[in-house]
Amino acid sequence: MHLKEYLIPQKQVKLLYYFSSLLRELLPWSYSRRRLNAKLSTLSNSDREHLQYRLNYYNKLTIPSVLSANAQKLKDFKMPGRHTVYYFDFMEYARYFNPDFQSNLLSLDVTQVPDEPSITKSRPVKEDNANSVLLKLNKIRHFNFVKYDIPYLSKKDMLFWRGNSGQPARLKFLLMYFKHPMCDLGFVNKTAGYADLEKEKVSINRHLKHKFVLCIEGNDVATNLKWVMSSNSVAVCSIPKYETWFMEGTLIPDHHFIAIRDDFADLEEKLNYYITNPEKAQQIIYNAHQHVAQFKDKYREDLLSILVMEKYFVCTGQLDPISDLLKAIHLSADRQA
């Protein structure tokens, strides 16, 4: 059965993304600021509980949350020469607020909780991570979902993965399973001393011919986890240690993905179990699709991103609550204790 291309070619997607982002840069701040109240007023009562849950998950700040003198005014953020996607994704929602408001933006892969409230793409999954306020950053790379796929039962009984080396866990996994008959694995970049672990880079369609796709964390999260969970293949990974806007920390082992131990020793046992019990694997696929569905409504995603920024400025003492949702939430630390 022929498998259609899973999404629009990335070159077209990126071209449209950069065009719209640069066009937004030409608009005056006042254009977005005039639209803020109208945006926030569209919050529906039926969606309120869901948005409040996700808002408080991404932004765990309470009043007071203190910024240092090093925090930067929004109007002073400049487009960087590299990693512009972080700037574009941040400014898309920061532009709704006073350009004199201050913020910290940490670009790239963040694996430590900062000392003061900061906007980040990723953070460790742990209780005391409130200073890492998650925003949907680098979404052009991270938030791509599969549109077309073949049925699970039509796929090969194998675990598939292609990716970059450089992380000890990935090297350990390939050393353990590169030659295993149930696995098709390989590094797609040159690896010093491990040329025998290299294989050709292949399309996502090639991945989707297999029932199981490895989603192993790199510098922070496993980037492919999002599109794998939107497909008819099953994600195989250890319990996530880092999370992004995708809320990896809420994923339930053997419910949203096939969970393997951190030492990877139970891989063969887990694969054989789900090959023998295909209905269990298909239930995981269904559960994964339910999780992915909440990220596909662009209007709601935009509204939620604005709410995350609003709460950031409220908790850092720069703004009084505007939205009814923020007004209804007890934000002070003593009220939450």
Mean pLDDT over each residue of the chain, to the nearest integer: 92
Residue that wins the pLDDT comparison between 329 and 88: 88
Mean pLDDT of 298-326: 95
With a cut of 80, say whether residue 2 has pLDDT above it.
no
Indicate if the pLDDT at residue 302 is higher than 60. Answer: yes
Res. 81 pLDDT band, cuts 50 70 90: confident
What does the chain come to in residues? 337
Mean pLDDT lowest for which of 3-12, 30-39, 276-285?
A: 3-12
**The predicted structure's pLDDT at residue 336:** 53
pLDDT above 90 (res 42) = no
Predicted TM-score (pTM) of this structure: 0.93
Percentage of the chain surpassing pLDDT 70?
95
Q: Is the pLDDT of residue 7 over 70?
A: no
Task: Count the Cβ atoms, other than its own, within 10 Å of residue 212.
Answer: 26
Backbone φ, ψ for residue 210 (5° rounding): -115, 145
The per-residue DSSP string of 218-279 comes to SSSS-TTHHHHHTSSSEEEEPPPSEE-TT-GGGPPBTTTBEE--TT-TTHHHHHHHHHH-HH
The CATH 3.40.50.2000 portion of the chain extends over: 152-293
Position 14 scores a pLDDT of: 83
- pLDDT tens digits, one per residue of 149-162: 999 999 999 999 99
pLDDT band at 38 (very low <50, low <70, confident <90, very high): confident
Q: What is the pLDDT at residue 44? A: 77
Q: Which CATH superfamily is domain 152-293 in?
A: Glycogen Phosphorylase B; (3.40.50.2000)
